[in-house]
């Protein structure tokens, strides 16, 4: 299905599939007299909740992204993210604001399977990108969000031999910032730091966590639980979530950093977790997605960890690591599965 926002008449469109009807519902909500829309959080770090967002703030967010990427009227975008969440809603709002031609594709692990022509803009989760590597050359501007981009996925993207005109970015944001407020380029020139949009300022609290002030999208100063390294007033590097930090024998361990290290060597999804331990407080465990493999165990054993306590005390294999609907690893559910198995 294609929606041309340069010449939109919603009554002349046929919304047939369940997903298309969800898009229709959002469009009608947006075009209503109300000044707010409902958005659902992913639930990756807690219970999912519904909250209201001003349409004006969403438009401001859309303008920032469209301006940064240089999108213009008549460009083609692809929607392949659930419209219950801010990520999918913002793709629709960007298309409306910039009068893009929006292709509606059912959210799936391979949403661009039928794509056979070049498009100007798309947003996907890392899992979707993983399953769409052979089609990346058709996307001029790709933003990846919902979860961190692993080192193994970065390497796979680099191996595609894409042109300099193919630009790929990792996003930083959350529901409260209306999708993202910062981008980090992966291609054509890899960057180490996220760069915040214009009129967005970042700082640290006394825990070392990121504080965001983005008045165009949220009047409040947003306090995150993300540990970061600040380079300057609008650039930062993500280290990990403070609520994921593992305290093992008095040492603080950032699981996201260790996961990035391991994923440079193996392609399987991996998650480091802290399991209750009488002597250590928390014991470092590595969960690997896939069948039991002695070769993978050997690969982990050969890795050079910066600290001795970074080496996992236990390695387990699990058929499927639980994820939220928008692709994030669900660490809360993973802990439940581990506890049940023990």
- Domain end, chosen from 133, 168, 198, is at 198
pLDDT, residue 327, reads: 67
- Angstrom distance (rounded) from CA 256 to CA 279: 24
Same-domain check for residues 176 and 117: yes
Query: Does residue 326 form part of some domain?
Result: yes
Q: Residue 29 maps to which CATH number?
A: 3.40.50.12780
Query: Does residue 231 form part of some domain?
Result: no
Query: Does residue 90 form part of some domain?
Result: yes
Q: Residue 263 maps to which CATH number?
A: 3.30.300.30
Domain of residue 135, residue span: 2-198
**What confidence tens digit (pLDDT) does each residue in 231-261 have?**
988 899 998 899 899 999 999 899 998 998 8
Coarse DSSP helix, strand, coil percentages of the chain, rounded to the nearest 5 percent: 30, 30, 40
Query: Does residue 203 form part of some domain?
Result: no
- Domain end, chosen from 176, 198, 220, is at 198
Same-domain check for residues 106 and 6: yes
Mean pLDDT confidence for 38-45: 68
Which of the four pLDDT bands, split at 50, 70 and 90, describes residue 176? Answer: confident
Averaged pLDDT score across all residues of the chain: 92
Query: Does residue 252 form part of some domain?
Result: yes
Mean pLDDT confidence for 259-281: 90
Query: Does residue 218 form part of some domain?
Result: no
Contact in structure between 28 and 15 (CB atoms under 8 Å): no
Entry pTM: 0.80
Which of the four pLDDT bands, split at 50, 70 and 90, describes residue 152? Answer: confident
Which of the four pLDDT bands, split at 50, 70 and 90, describes residue 263? Answer: confident
Which of the four pLDDT bands, split at 50, 70 and 90, describes residue 148? Answer: confident
Number of domains making up the chain? 2
Same-domain check for residues 178 and 267: no
Same-domain check for residues 89 and 177: yes
Same-domain check for residues 134 and 21: yes
Query: Does residue 223 form part of some domain?
Result: no
Same-domain check for residues 191 and 252: no
Which of the four pLDDT bands, split at 50, 70 and 90, describes residue 9? Answer: confident
**Phi and psi at residue 174, in whole multiples of 5°?**
-160, 175
Same-domain check for residues 307 and 180: no
Query: Does residue 269 form part of some domain?
Result: yes
Same-domain check for residues 249 and 194: no
**Cα–Cα nearest to 202, from 225, 178, 222:** 222
Same-domain check for residues 7 and 148: yes
- Tell whether the model's pLDDT for residue 25 goes beyond 90: yes
Same-domain check for residues 250 and 189: no
Q: Give the pairing type, strands 76-79 and 121-124.
A: parallel
pLDDT, residue 43, reads: 57
């Amino acid at each position: 299905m294609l929606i041309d926002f340069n010449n939109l008449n919603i009554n002349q469109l046929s919304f047939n599939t369940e997903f298309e009807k969800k898009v229709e519902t959002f469009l009608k909500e947006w075009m209503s007299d109300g000044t707010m829309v409902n958005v659902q959080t992913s639930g990756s770090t807690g219970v999912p909740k519904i909250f209201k967002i001003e349409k004006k703030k969403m438009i401001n967010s859309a303008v920032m992204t469209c301006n940064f990427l240089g999108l213009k009227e008549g460009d083609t975008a692809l929607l392949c993210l659930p419209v219950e969440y801010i990520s999918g809603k913002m793709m629709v709002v960007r298309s409306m604001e910039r009068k893009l031609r929006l292709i509606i594709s059912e959210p799936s692990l391979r949403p661009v399977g039928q794509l056979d022509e070049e498009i100007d803009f798309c947003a996907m989760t890392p899992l979707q990108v993983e399953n769409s590597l052979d089609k990346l050359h058709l996307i001029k501007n790709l933003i990846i969000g919902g979860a961190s981009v692993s080192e193994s996925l970065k390497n796979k993207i680099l191996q595609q031999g894409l042109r300099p005109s193919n630009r790929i970015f990792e996003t930083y944001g959350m529901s409260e910032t209306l999708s993202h407020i910062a981008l980090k380029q992966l291609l054509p020139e890899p960057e180490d730091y996220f760069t915040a949009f214009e009129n967005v300022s970042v700082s640290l609290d006394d825990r070392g966590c990121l504080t965001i002030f983005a008045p165009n999208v949220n009047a409040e100063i947003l306090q995150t639980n993300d540990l970061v390294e600040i380079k300057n007033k609008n650039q930062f590097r993500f280290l990990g979530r403070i609520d994921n930090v593992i305290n093992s024998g008095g040492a603080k361990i950032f699981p996201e950093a260790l996961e990035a290290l391991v994923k440079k060597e193996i392609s399987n999804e991996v998650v480091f977790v802290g399991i209750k331990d009488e002597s250590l407080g928390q014991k470092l465990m590595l969960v690997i997605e896939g069948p039991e493999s002695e070769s993978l165990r050997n690969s982990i054993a050969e890795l050079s960890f910066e600290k001795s306590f970074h080496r996992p005390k236990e390695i387990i294999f699990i058929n499927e690591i639980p994820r939220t609907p928008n692709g994030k690893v669900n660490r809360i559910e993973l802990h439940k599965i581990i506890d049940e198995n023990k």
